[in-house]
Amino acid sequence: MRIFFVNLFEAAVSKTRAQVNRRVNIIKNQIVHRPHSPMLQTKTYWWTNVIISPSPQWKTLLLIATFSYLFTTYAYATSTFNEVKNSYKKSDAVLLDRHGRIIHELRVDEKGRRLEWISLKDISPSLIKAVIHSEDKRFYDHYGVDWRATMVAIFESLITTNNRGASTITMQLASILDKELKPKESRRTLSQKWKQIRAAWDIEHTWSKDEILEAYLNLVTFRGELQGISSASRGLFNKEPSGLNEPESLILASLIRSPNAQLRDVIKRACILTSSIKSQTPCENITSIAEKKLSGPYSIRPRIAIAPHVARELLQKEEAIVVSTLDADIQRFATEVLKYQLGLLKNQNVHDGAVLVVENKTGHILAYVGNSGLSSSARYVDGVRARRQAGSTLKPFLYELAIEKRLLTAASVLDDSPLDISTPVGLYIPQNYDNEFKGLVSVRTALSASLNVPAVRTLMLVGVEPFVNRLKELGFESLNESGDYYGYSLALGSADVSLYELVNTYRTLANDGKWSELRLTFDKNTNEKQVLEKDATFIISDILSDRESRSATFGFENPLSTRFWTAVKTGTSKDMRDNWCIGYSQKYTVGVWVGNFTGEPMWNVTGITGAAPIWLELMNYLHRSYPSIPPQPPLGVVTRKIEFDHHIESEKDEWFIEGTQPSSIELNTIHVNPHIIYPSERTIIALDPDIPERHHLIFFEAKASNTTFQWLLNNKKIGTSSKRVSWKPKKGKYVLSIVDKQNRIIDSVEFEVR
């Protein structure tokens, strides 16, 4: 029955008699094909004749009767105001710090721009006045439907070609809440219109007027993708809705009826509205503001954005709010210190940097600064995750492995002198940073003063492949090649690593050799594993905290010296392209990188002058209220007083793993196990056919102390306790070893003769 009346009404508002006739035929066909009573058929004939009649009075009566019938036969399930407000989702997700403070806003929904829900009391009164006057003058006088405006609109549609709207604010809100009520083409069908009216009536019965107006202003589209008064106000005028003045309010109110209207049409409508509400605002002012704000693209600046890289990693469309492990105060301080230091280094061609601060015990990341922001050469590059040459930052883990394997102690003496190493691709000649050599030095001095040649000698002793495997255990995922690929330059940091990886490996030192993943959220459980030996780790931490030993290279007064206990290491890559400073206290590990994302070299910038000042500022800030105390020595280490022969270094108390300490307090020899210098691992020796076979001779060389050892070639003895031994080569593959008195292998290499 309702379908019948709907079709009659649509016929009544048709613009031409031909349209009416076609509509009547549709009605008759519906009656023929559907069972109806004779009374209904009689009524159909009467109503259709009335419709075709030229009398406008009869049409009016028909419309009122049809309207009344439909209005009482449609039921609408109305959501409450709180349900609508609670279901509202912003297009921006919010990142919170560990204390619940907002630290970043990031857009995650590309379909529309919606900001936070704004209470009616926080919206400018001038905007409320302009919107009501523009969209629904009798808003506070009706119950969802403005019958006076509806009748005027109906009559105008019958006698003119103008289509005047009569939707109240409540009716518009109903169509926003129910997608079924939105126009399917250019206009709503009559059925949709009646449903919209009934929905508006139901809303008025359950909502207050202020709730209706508040929801409407938060949900209506103002321009383009700007939905709601908050996004419109900030996007177009860069201010909160409470701060909108009258000209701005008039422009926004004029946009509601046609959000994508041409600029001239918006200005015209706003000027008419100005006159309608008897405003004193000149039309020239509105024109000037509209041309300035509506002509170009709009921009919504986030109110806070201090953790962009973490936000992009954690914020997803499904989660509007995410709590991170970051600390807003530390994040903000780290950002400002980085910007300040980079400003000082700008004239030395330094433009980029990154900072990472973590809590040792939990692995929680407290500050994650991927770059310096607007001043960076590439503000979207994440310097924390970017891979760069490690420089000297890998040395502590090399020495830890040597001490762990009982190949060295902190008191072992290494030779810091010129070194030429034969490799399959030629000679490798490592140099110290200052191109000077210190001669004989202890392992403690070699590490804390960051000497290069002793580190290469240690890698020759440990082996490249075992060191690569250890670094992989420590989480360096980028090291996916074999030891041959890196060679002995790995001791000096030729591999590419990230600040993220480095900080976590130093945190492993701070945690007595226990490794676990870093965390940005509280809901992630990580497995802990013992990677480094606790005793060896303690000795490395003690060396890295030794201000006196460090002075051999850096002097006593430098940014690595803190008033509380810390262990720290710097690193500079080839050609001064990367500068690192990584260190830890009792509670925190802090890592800093400075350089250029473009890969350009810096100008005369070292770890002390580049990254270290930032590291020092952060450590002082973190420990401004409480100290950092040195770690307690584990049961597996002992201390002994050491005197070096020939006054190589001053007398000192040194830590040793139980069983590796010397029996005498005086060291008369270089305390390092012998190791093979030539041939290097996997060397290929090619015999020259032009040289007579009787003149072919190869010399095997070893670096040795007074320790007794023997040379073995494929497990056959070829010499005893000699630094050099000759051998007549024959084609084949060989294993060359040196063994101690107990026949234990001290060092071993493989080579081939072709």
> Judging by DSSP bridges, how do beta strands 698-703 and 365-369 pair with one another?
unpaired
Looking at 133-137, 149-153, 176-180, 241-245, which range is the least confident one?
Answer: 149-153
DSSP 143: S
Q: What is the pLDDT of residue 50?
A: 39
Residue 569 has pLDDT above 90, yes or no: yes
% of the chain at pLDDT higher than 90:
40
Instruction: Choose between 722 and 125: higher pLDDT.
Output: 125
Q: Which of 326, 350, 365, 344 is nearest to 499 (CA)?
A: 365
- The whole-number average pLDDT for the span 595-607 is 88
pLDDT digits (tens, 9 = 90+) for 367-399: 999 998 888 888 889 999 999 999 999 999 999
% of the chain at pLDDT higher than 70:
80
Q: What is the pLDDT of residue 21?
A: 46
Mean pLDDT, the chain, integer: 82
Asked if residues 200 and 194 have their Cβ atoms less than 8 Å apart, the reply is no
Which token pair is 555? 């002097």
Helices marked H in 590-640:
612-622
Q: What is the pLDDT of residue 424?
A: 61
- The whole-number average pLDDT for the span 315-329 is 88
- pLDDT category of residue 687 using cuts at 50, 70 and 90: confident
- pLDDT category of residue 16 using cuts at 50, 70 and 90: very low
Residue 551 region, left (φ>0) first, then alpha (ψ -120 to 50), else beta?
A: alpha
Looking at 263-267, 316-320, 555-559, 750-754, which range is the least confident one?
Answer: 555-559
Residue 42 has pLDDT above 50, yes or no: no
Q: What is the pLDDT of residue 17?
A: 39
C-alpha–C-alpha distance, residues 433 and 438, integer Å = 12
- pLDDT category of residue 44 using cuts at 50, 70 and 90: very low
Cα–Cα distance list, 315 to 27, 323, 354, 378, 517 (Å): 56, 10, 21, 22, 20
Q: What is the pLDDT of residue 51?
A: 40
Q: What is the pLDDT of residue 32?
A: 42
DSSP 123: S
pLDDT digits (tens, 9 = 90+) for 572-593: 888 889 999 999 999 999 999 9
Q: Looking at 531-636, which runs of residues are DSSP E strands?
A: 567-572, 578-584, 588-595
- The whole-number average pLDDT for the span 636-659 is 86
pLDDT digits (tens, 9 = 90+) for 475-500: 998 888 776 778 888 988 889 999 99
Torsion of CA 602, 606, 609, 613, to 10 degrees: 110
Instruction: Choose between 625 and 662: higher pLDDT.
Output: 625
Instruction: Choose between 396 and 303: higher pLDDT.
Output: 396
DSSP 325: S
Helices marked H in 526-573:
534-544, 547-554
Q: What is the pLDDT of residue 9?
A: 43
pLDDT digits (tens, 9 = 90+) for 330-354: 999 999 999 999 999 999 999 999 9
Question: In the CATH scheme, what is the code of domain 365-622?
Answer: 3.40.710.10
What secondary structure does DSSP assign to 247-314, as a single string? HHHHHHHHHHS-TT--HHHHHHHHHHHHHHTT----HHHHHHHHHHHHSS------S-BS-HHHHHHH
Class of domain 675-753: mainly beta
**Looking up tokens 């890196």, which residue turns up?**
486
Class of domain 81-92+108-294: mainly alpha
Q: What is the pLDDT of residue 14?
A: 41
Instruction: Choose between 316 and 613: higher pLDDT.
Output: 613
C-alpha–C-alpha distance, residues 224 and 421, integer Å = 68
Same fold, 365-622 and 675-753: no
3-class SS of residue 692: coil
Residue 630 has pLDDT above 90, yes or no: yes
**Looking up tokens 């630094």, which residue turns up?**
723
What secondary structure does DSSP assign to 72-93, as a single string? TS----PPPHHHHHHH---SEE
Residue 237 has pLDDT above 50, yes or no: yes
- pLDDT category of residue 192 using cuts at 50, 70 and 90: confident
* Domains in the chain: boundaries: 2-71, 81-92+108-294, 365-622, 638-665, 675-753
Q: Which of 137, 134, 155 is nearest to 146 (CA)?
A: 137
Looking at 9-18, 127-136, 289-298, 521-530, which range is the least confident one?
Answer: 9-18
Q: What is the pLDDT of residue 118?
A: 94
Element (H, E) at 459: helix 452-462
pLDDT digits (tens, 9 = 90+) for 398-445: 999 999 999 999 998 888 887 767 666 566 677 666 667 778 889 999
- The whole-number average pLDDT for the span 90-113 is 90
Q: What is the pLDDT of residue 71?
A: 47
